[in-house]
Chains A and B, each alone.
Chain A
Amino acid sequence: MVEPLLSTHGLIKRFGGLLATDNVSIEVRPGEIHALIGPNGAGKTTLVAQLTGMLAPDSGTIHFAGRDVTRLPTHARVRLGLARSFQITSVLREFTALDNVALAVQAHRGHSFRFLADARADRGLRDAARQGLEAVGLGGRADTLASALSHGEQRQLEIAMALAGDPRLLLLDEPMAGMGAEESQRMVELLRGLKAKRGMLLIEHDMDAVFALADRITVLVYGRAIATGTPAEIRAHPEVRQAYLGEEAA
């Protein structure tokens, strides 16, 4: 059995009376795309926030790359190789696409308490950033301000930023959100190309994309993981059909 890259055990998070994460235990293996699906309000975003360290769970543990990271701050988890993209596009709008990725590269090249040398003249940072942009198909947009990129391009830029540190796990929070069919298709291809080298936890509403990409799927309903399995198993799962997929079919 391969040791999982990321695993949670009995994760619980309450907001007042609401049980947003109810005893969730999931794992993502190296080289696998693990999709997390569930209706709105199922607690996907809350779970992601705990995985990244933005929220602390009330109980339970999170292990990443063989370490207990439950109490580790966000930036330290990123250093271990846990990168993410955001549900709502989150790029540095006042910076060029190249600057965005260069900063992401910089985050993984030692500390940044360097005050005098021009970071834009740093070949190491710029070349790596340029390669990162090309890898996601944004090579021609390097000098465009992030705010001037199209929505789909901004999402691609986010992926480039997440990939900059060569992370072991990519946490993708609805990467297809707000994309047209064509842009979604391009993103599916991009993600499929990345999967060999790293694990991915994919939160996504676009079921076509999920079933096209995922090796395994976990279904979250009211904070609880009601099922985990291959796409075929999930399709056939009676509780899932009733709680989630059934609603869509009806």
Chain B
Amino acid sequence: MTGALRTPRGLTTALLLVLFAALPLLTQAFDQRYLLSIGTRIVIWSIAAVSLNMILGYGGLVSFGHAAFFGIGGYAVGILSASGVPDGWVQWPVAILAAAAWAALIGALSLRTRGVYFIMITLAFAQLVYYVAASLEVYGGDDGLNIGRSRFSGLIDLRDKASFYWLCFALLVATLWFCSRFAVSRFGFVLRGARSNDQRMTALGFPVFQYRLAALVISGAFGGLAGVLLANEGAYVSPAMMSWVKSGDLIVIVVLGGMGTLFGPVYGAIAFFVLEESLKPLMDLVHKGWGEYWQIVFGPMLVLVALYAKGGIDSLLGRRRHG
């Protein structure tokens, strides 16, 4: 453990985790409450990005419909809340199971295809969920739905921003812990082997389809968890949380941070939100109203990463041990 701290990667990771853990204290001390809400969003999106990385990074499958898990997780909370079930003990498991079930359904169909077809099918399914949510007039349709935050028998008050942040952070740590085990487990080896050469894995005797399906279900479950948190963060759900743009943002975050690396998706989420929050005012400073177009600057930055830092931000921290 002490040895890991001597590498740039270990040191950066440790500092980040400490900073994350202390964020509510820091924002309170410097009276920057707004930063805590950005921090909360970064943590929630990190969970979603880590979950996407399980299938995209370790599995090598470009799922372009990950925001659907966000949406299903969020809407499960929203609909239960609107139906008079405010209890998180019920809401959260239902939401996560719903996202996992959706993953099983789309996986059973989409994993029979490869490459571009897989991308298009996952996108098509996500759009389907999007339009279903937009047509649910009872639950606000396009405008979305204001909801009450989940209740946990008085154990934790999610309306308290610091408590909610710490809960999200604890869940991110748990997600990262699981992912770190998952990556080097027997299952992870099969999944990564199939990414490298699925024909070979089949010839070795692995039913690759089943392993990929399981990976997608796990990935979807954690994606659903992120959706649950997102719904609670804003006390609001809307179809916008599962638009294809969000799925694209998640892919960008994972690629930017480093596919198939443990902390890459977290670095990616930090970079994405910090750049968004800083480029907007910077560009507004240059010319009023330009802030809206921050992605004109962000886009070329992504191109540079794609061209010169293939392993994403994670690769800038030095070489990884293989395996």
Contacts and interface: CB of A to CB of B under 8 A. Distances in A.
A92 B205 contact: no
Nearest to A85: B203
Nearest to B195: A94
Contacts of B12: none
Given A78-B204, A120-B323, A112 B197 contact: no
Contacts, number: 102
A96 interface: yes
A73 interface: yes
Interface in A111-164: 112-120, 122, 145, 161, 164
Contacts of B196: 92-95
Contact count band on B: 20 to 34
Give the secondary structure class of B's interface. Answer: helix
Contacts of B199: 54, 86, 90
A14 to B, nearest CB: 23
B185 A114 contact: yes
A95 B185 contact: no
Name, among B202, B204, B211, the residue most crowded by chain A CB atoms within 10 Å (CB to CB): B204
Given A94-B322, A119-B185, A112 B205 contact: no
B207 interface: yes
Contacts of A74: 202-203
A104 B187 CA distance: 13
Contacts of A122: 186
Contact of A86 (B186, B187, B203, B208): B203
Contacts of A73: 207
Contacts of B190: 103, 106, 112
A165 interface: yes
A122 B188 CA distance: 14
Given A92-B193, A115-B182, A75 B206 contact: yes
B11 interface: no
Given A114-B185, A119-B186, A119-B189, A96 B203 contact: no
A108 interface: yes
B57 to A, nearest CB: 13
A166 B322 CA distance: 28
Contacts of A96: 322-323
Interface of B: 178, 181-182, 184-190, 192-193, 196-197, 199-208, 211, 214, 218, 322-323
10 contacts: A54-B199, A73-B207, A78-B202, A83-B203, A95-B323, A112-B190, A114-B185, A115-B187, A116-B181, A120-B323
Interface of A: 52, 54, 73-76, 78-79, 83-84, 86, 90-96, 99, 102-104, 106-108, 112-120, 122, 145, 161, 164-165
